[in-house]
Homo-oligomer: A and B are copies of this chain.
């Protein structure tokens, strides 16, 4: 999977209105599946969202998972580590946020930042990054062994669309809060990020594969993620549990 060779747009000829209808249906199916998952308490689902600034991670939470009641889903986002977090290994704070049985957890950014931004900023060198790829594979294997399904999405954004979206954040009052000067700074290292994303994706496919999602068209991104989530849950033996009672 060469990122540079994958389009950031919906496939040519995609019918936007049809796709939006399909997404609606998928979201309903997702809600029923999650209800079963929650009743059964056998599986959980971890959704990892990675992508450049303005790649639409919040939009995925808001528009793909909107039919799941709040008791079935939660979001964790990982900021600059605190002093206490830095006093542990990089997976320590991540592990604490893994989903309980029956639950969906969305990581808005994740342990992958520890082999991405940290490399760009020079905190982590190539050898350390390589070691971390292995540790991440082990970590994800351990989650999956406990029936936490791990789905990883790389939100594949073009540099042009990013510019447009970052500008919008400076022009629309209800988006100001999303603006950070730092995002424009980060953008200057675009090529470096792409290189490290590519490397990271190549080396962390072992326990849980990556899905590359073209995100320049939001409606297509939403459809594709909903589809992958639903198909993944449908492969599990989700069942409502039997009645457990001594009253009869």
- A interface residue numbers (CB < 8 A to B): 35-36, 38-41, 58, 61-62, 65-66, 68-71, 73-75, 77, 106, 108, 170, 173-174, 176-177, 179, 181, 184, 240-248
Task: Please tell me if the beta carbons of B177 and A241 are within 8 angstroms of each other in the complex.
Answer: yes
Q: Given A61-B71, A246-B181, is A240 in contact with B66 using a C-beta cutoff of 8 Å?
A: no
What CA separation (Å) do A242 and B184 show in the bound complex? Answer: 18
Taken together as a complex, chains A and B put the C-alpha atoms of A240 and B40 apart, in Å, by: 41
Kindly state the separation between the CA atoms of A176 and B241 in the bound complex, as whole angstroms: 7
Contacting pair B247 A170 (CB below 8 A): yes
Alpha-carbon separation in the docked complex, A49 to B71 (Å): 13
Q: A39-B174, A65-B70, A170-B248 are in contact. List 11 more A-B contacts (CB 8 A).
A: A36-B174, A38-B177, A39-B177, A61-B69, A70-B106, A170-B247, A174-B240, A176-B244, A179-B243, A179-B245, A181-B245
State A242–B77 Cα separation when bound (angstroms): 24
- Tell me the bound Cα distance from A180 to B47 in angstroms: 31
Shortest beta-carbon distance, A168 to chain B, in Å?
A: 12
Assembly stoichiometry (copies):
2
The answer to whether A62 touches B71, judged by C-beta atoms less than 8 angstroms apart, is yes
Q: Given A66-B69, A69-B62, are A240 and B177 neighbors across the interface (CB < 8 Å)?
A: yes
B247 x A184 contact (CB < 8 A): yes
B243 close to A108 (CB less than 8 A): no
Question: Are the C-beta atoms of B181 and A240 separated by less than 8 Å?
Answer: no
Complex: A32 Cα to B243 Cα, angstroms: 41
Quick one: closest B residue to A65, CB to CB?
B70
Which chain B residue lies CB-closest to A242?
A: B176
Contact among B39, B66, B71, B179 for A108, CB-based, below 8 A: B71
A108 and B71 CA atoms in complex are apart in Å by: 9
Closest residue of chain B to A177, judged by CB? B39
Give the residues in chain B near A174, CB-CB below 8 Å: 35-36, 39, 240
- Chain B residues, CB < 8 A from A181: 245-247
Q: How far is the CA of A245 from the CA of B245 in the complex (A)?
A: 62
